[in-house]
Amino acid sequence: MKKSTPDHPSTCRIALRFAIVLLGLLAVLTAESRAQNEPMLIQDVVDAAKLLPIFPDPPSGWTADKPEGETSDVSGSKITTAHRDYKKGGGDNVPIASISIIDSVANPDTIALTIESWKTNSETSEGYTKSVTIDGNPGSESYEKERKHAALRLLIANRYLLAIELQNQDPKELQDWLKRLDLKKLAAIK
């Protein structure tokens, strides 16, 4: 049986599921704070199968798990998620990349809160967090030196939360992984 460590891809799946529950909770809390009679027109989330072709093939020398996706109903708020893990080599401290896409179009308040949280910029001897804009898409980039964990999060087409997380790689590699994704194709999925 394989031991689950913070570097292991299954931990990324657990973190993704935690994010789904957190997004659902935020959606419920923000919905409760709305006026009772305020109409809210919300689009439907896409079927997870539409997101799976977005994930790139593994780069040379890498392997990848099969992409997975699901649509969940968390307290009456639907969220579609898709995820794929990549790994280079065997062992415990090898480079790992995880790409996740969450369709949060049904949760506009959550999107607004997320964008607001990305406006934080800080740098210490232990790492950094900075606000970024890539091709007009707002986001956040962070790096933890001790854990060698880099993350890039972007909001695509005001609905898709895209997360690229790297373990045991230089944070500059985030841009290489981002280039493997067709952001225009993702933005066009409805």
How many whole angstroms from its chain centre is CA 15? 10
Which tens digit of pLDDT belongs to each residue from 61-97? 999 999 999 998 877 788 899 999 999 998 889 999 9
In a domain, 86, yes or no: yes
Contacting residues for 29 by C-beta, under 8 A, at least 6 apart: none
Structure pTM? 0.79
Q: SS3 for 20?
A: helix
User: In angstroms, rounded to a whole number, what is the distance separating the alpha carbons of residues 48 and 150?
Assistant: 26
Number of folded domains that form the chain:
1
In a domain, 4, yes or no: no
Please classify residue 150 by burial: count the beta carbons closer than 10 Å to its beta carbon, then call 0-12 exposed, 13-18 middle and 19+ buried. buried
Q: Nearest Cα to 113, choosing from 22, 44, 187, 47?
A: 22
Residue 59 identity (one-letter amino acid): P
In a domain, 3, yes or no: no
In a domain, 83, yes or no: yes
Q: Nearest Cα to 139, choosing from 161, 122, 106, 123?
A: 161
Contacting residues for 73 by C-beta, under 8 A, at least 6 apart: none
User: In angstroms, rounded to a whole number, what is the distance separating the alpha carbons of residues 12 and 4?
Assistant: 10
Q: Please give the pLDDT value at position 153.
A: 97
In a domain, 122, yes or no: yes
Q: Which residues of the chain have pLDDT under 50?
A: 1-12, 14-18, 20-37, 39-40
In a domain, 37, yes or no: yes
Residue 143 identity (one-letter amino acid): Y
Q: Please give the pLDDT value at position 121.
A: 95
Q: Which domain holds residue 106?
A: 9-188
User: In angstroms, rounded to a whole number, what is the distance separating the alpha carbons of residues 170 and 179?
Assistant: 16
Count other Cβ atoms within 10 Å, centred on residue 71. Answer: 16
End-to-end CA gap in the chain: 40
Q: Nearest Cα to 13, choosing from 64, 90, 85?
A: 85
What CATH number has the domain bearing residue 160?
3.40.1000
In a domain, 66, yes or no: yes
User: Which H helix or E strand runs over 176?
Assistant: helix 173-179
In a domain, 1, yes or no: no
